[in-house]
Structure 1
Amino acid sequence: MGGPLQGLKVVELSAMGPAPHAAMMLADLGAEVVRVVGPAPPVGGYDVGTHLQRGRTTVRANLKDPAHLEGVRGLVAAADVFLEGFRPGTTERLGLGPEECLALNPRLVYGRMTGWGQDGPLAQRAGHDINYMALTGALHAIGPAERPVPPLNLVGDFGGGSMFVLTGILAALWERERSGLGQVVDAAMVDGVSVLSQIILELRSVNLWNDTRAANLLDGAAPFYRTYETSDGRHVAVGAIEPQFYALLIDGLGLSAGELPDRDDPRQWPALEALLAGAFAARTRDEWADVFDGVDACVTPVLTYAEAAKNTHIAARGALSGSGRHVVAAPAPRFSRTASVARDPAGETDFETILSSWRAS
């Protein structure tokens, strides 16, 4: 049996960032996704890589050509979902805005993925993941005391971006089952990152979090929730928040809990951190991994992407495949009756071939 979205027809207007990532996931889940790309890669940009294109058929179109534009409109009329990731107003200027597309297909779910959103003072401004995170407060909270550090582009682009446009699209499809009508999904990274931050906002509201970086439970300040360097210059991650896990951590390190500073007193965290750092520095990362193997101390080695693909748990799950610089993530999540499959790109075709297939189904 195919994926849970088998039979869903998606038109993706190719862009950069989280929109193609969302399209990849829709394809992984079984949807039939057609990528509409320009005649050439964007100036100053790049096309998405092979693995981010997986599972999709590509159609090349010059949207300034009336014949090509009509071809895309034909796909839209037969589709369930249209997905775009451009600045507000771009698709309207192309003749593929929500008004035009919903007139062609009232059942269409029109997904819009931007950084700032479709409205607001910054809607037309350029930006990247780091900028959207900065304005939400999330970036300020991440990193050492000296300066904020961007957590790759995982939080804004993909956590606050593609995951939220996917959620919106699926919710709109569910609502369509009752109303029979599509609608527009306005997914903005500033909105998504703000929602992801809700637990931190809650902690602030009850005075369990402050805006001083590296001074809180989950930002690396707590000695029992941070990384430590080992004797070989690598690192282990420690997440022993609960007392029972912390007790196993201290036991594994060969320390005496009664001789250590009070872990519940933030004023004593620097002294406790120094003692734990000294203990971890005595052995290599992999030696510590062996010490804590099978122990609920919440201690794990910090792996590179290449190492992660070889990890026994990751390999058993099949979450990553490949080696070296060619590591690929498997589809997620998983389902009990239907299969999500990372299919290779289906290559290029033309409008009529796609439409004939869609009409037949």
Structure 2
Amino acid sequence: RSTAAAAVAMALSGVRVLELAGLAPVPLCGMILADFGAQVVRVDRLSRSASAFEQGDVQARGKRSLALDLKRPQGAAVLRRLCLGADVLIEPFRHGVMERLGLGPEVLLQENPRLIYARLTGFGQTGKYAKSAGHDINYLAVSGVLSKLGRKDENPYAPVNLLADFAGGGVMCALGIVTALFERARSGRGQVIDASMVEGVAYLSSFLWKSQNLGLWSQPRGENLLDSGAPFYETYRTSDGKFMAVGAIEPKFYSQLIKGLGLNLGELPAQMSFSDWPEMKKKFASIFAQKTQAEWCSIFDSTDACVTPVLSFDDAASHQHHKERNSFIKNDQGEISPRPAPVLSRTPAVPSCKRDPFIGEHTEEVLLEYGFTKQEIAKLHSDEVIEFKNLKANL
């Protein structure tokens, strides 16, 4: 079906979102909404004042860009007018910035009571750290989660910036926005979303908190069932320098793992004999090191041993399973990325294949759409409050 028809059929079609440009978490939040059909406008700083990071926003799929100087009173007034016609505003700034610009929630929600005003920050809008700078590793640390991550006798280890920035930040914020949109359909009223990455990643870790009494985490970090303590929940190097991932927790899966490794279950210590785990790890490692990743795949692929290859991005994109499900998509530039998840049966996300927008590429188009006149736009441009991107300069 055509992309236009798909856009109308998508779950969030008709939802108008203003995303104030920021670093990683907010762009993911906006991209998720855009992928599922929302009309997302990224409000960029003028290109001369935008940082290199903003120039390189890689999560801009399906968005349009409007370049606006919010620090000028005229620029702030433009955003206030845009918010009259918007459903959602997402802002990434540090504590108090929006209020200083005269764009706080009390102002914007008074002017448009239906507006959903999402504030995505590291530490949240209140509390001791609300005004402090930080990054994913700091939010992960303060949430308690970082203390659980890492191998035995090593420092805690942050898995790149996935957990706080994106899972606890961008995704949780998107969930908050969709929930607030759902509630607004009943009440007709918007609300403020205080999305803290610390609390988002802590909430994500609810299982860790609630399973403490099960004895799953009674050993030091790196010596428990799921944190690389167990030989059957671990990664192992293969003879060609690649890796296999093993997650054979249940006895019926464990027995298939043992069989695939060519060992005899009756001659080994009990699976849950903690004291034997380090020795069993060495045994498994020496066996995995004797075959290539492809050879191990041919042994384990048709079993329920819970053994899978650790795939590189390139290998993942070309893997048979993902090809059969179209799990990865290619845009017009030939760039490969994961397709939006989850898959909705009637109204699936149909991600844009177009290149990402240049800063200010859609300034005039968006302002006209939101009710500004050509004369008003010309005045804003001559006053250097807004910027148009000269596309010819990029060719």
> What TM-score range do you get, normalising by the shorter chain?
over 0.9
Q: Secondary structure at the match of 1:47?
A: helix
Aligned to 2:271: 263
Q: Is the 8 A contact 2:88 2:118 kept in 1?
A: yes
Q: Is the 8 A contact 2:23 2:57 kept in 1?
A: no
AA of the residue aligned to 2:42: R
Q: Secondary structure at the match of 1:67?
A: helix
Whole-angstrom CA distance in 2 between matches of 1:5 and 1:353? 21
Q: Is the 8 A contact 2:67 2:363 kept in 1?
A: no
Whole-angstrom CA distance in 2 between matches of 1:137 and 1:47? 30
Q: 1:195 aligns with which of 200, 203, 214?
A: 203
Aligned to 2:25: 18
Whole-angstrom CA distance in 2 between matches of 1:230 and 1:275? 13
Aligned to 1:246: 254
Aligned to 1:222: 230
Whole-angstrom CA distance in 2 between matches of 1:42 and 1:224? 52
1:338-357 to 2 correspondence within 5 Å? Answer: 338-343=347-352, 344=354, 345=356, 348-349=360-361, 353-357=365-369
Q: Is the 8 A contact 2:87 2:115 kept in 1?
A: yes
Aligned to 2:375: none
Q: 1:294 aligns with which of 302, 317, 321?
A: 302
Structure 1 residue 65: Cα displacement:
2.6
Q: Secondary structure at the match of 1:144?
A: coil
What value does the CA root-mean-square deviation take over the aligned residues?
2.1
Deviations 1:172-206 (A, max 9, x none): 11111121110000010110111111111122133
Whole-angstrom CA distance in 2 between matches of 1:239 and 1:206? 19
Q: Secondary structure at the match of 2:18?
A: strand
Aligned to 2:323: 315
Whole-angstrom CA distance in 2 between matches of 1:303 and 1:92? 46
Aligned to 1:113: 120
Aligned to 1:84: 91
Shift in alpha-carbon separation, 1:211–1:84, aligned structure 2, 3 A:
farther
1:95-244 to 2 correspondence within 5 Å? Answer: 95-145=102-152, 146-210=154-218, 212-244=220-252
Shift in alpha-carbon separation, 1:322–1:170, aligned structure 2, 3 A:
closer
Q: Secondary structure at the match of 1:245?
A: helix
Aligned to 2:339: 330
Per mean C-alpha deviation after superposition, the further-off stretch among 95-104 and 117-126 is 95-104
AA of the residue aligned to 1:302: V
Structure 1 residue 357: Cα displacement:
3.1
Aligned to 1:60: 67
AA of the residue aligned to 1:357: E
AA of the residue aligned to 1:69: A
Aligned to 2:16: 9
Aligned to 2:386: none
Whole-angstrom CA distance in 2 between matches of 1:116 and 1:160? 11
- Number of residue pairs matched? 359
Q: Is the 8 A contact 1:305 1:327 kept in 2?
A: no
Structure 1 residue 245: Cα displacement:
0.9
Structure 1 residue 310: Cα displacement:
0.9
AA of the residue aligned to 2:28: H
Shift in alpha-carbon separation, 1:216–1:276, aligned structure 2, 3 A:
same
AA of the residue aligned to 1:79: A
Per mean C-alpha deviation after superposition, the further-off stretch among 134-143 and 235-244 is 134-143
Per mean C-alpha deviation after superposition, the further-off stretch among 85-94 and 209-218 is 209-218
Per mean C-alpha deviation after superposition, the further-off stretch among 236-245 and 41-50 is 41-50
AA of the residue aligned to 1:329: P
Deviations 1:16-52 (A, max 9, x none): 1201110011000000001100013767651164641
Q: 1:282 aligns with which of 281, 284, 290?
A: 290
Normalised by the length of structure 1, the TM-score is 0.94
Structure 1 residue 80: Cα displacement:
0.4
Whole-angstrom CA distance in 2 between matches of 1:286 and 1:233? 11
Structure 1 residue 355: Cα displacement:
4.8
Whole-angstrom CA distance in 2 between matches of 1:48 and 1:252? 50
Whole-angstrom CA distance in 1 between matches of 2:247 and 2:70? 51
Structure 1 residue 158: Cα displacement:
0.7
Residue 72, structure 1, aligned to residue 99, structure 2: no
Whole-angstrom CA distance in 1 between matches of 2:330 and 2:306? 27
Structure 1 residue 314: Cα displacement:
1.6
Shift in alpha-carbon separation, 1:163–1:9, aligned structure 2, 3 A:
same
Whole-angstrom CA distance in 1 between matches of 2:185 and 2:24? 30
In the alignment, structure 1 segments of 5+ residues that lack a partner are none
Structure 1 residue 139: Cα displacement:
1.1
Q: Secondary structure at the match of 2:215?
A: coil
In the alignment, structure 2 segments of 5+ residues that lack a partner are 1-5, 372-395
Percent identical = 45
Whole-angstrom CA distance in 2 between matches of 1:235 and 1:306? 15
Q: Is the 8 A contact 1:27 1:54 kept in 2?
A: yes
Per mean C-alpha deviation after superposition, the further-off stretch among 342-351 and 96-105 is 342-351
Shift in alpha-carbon separation, 1:48–1:245, aligned structure 2, 3 A:
farther
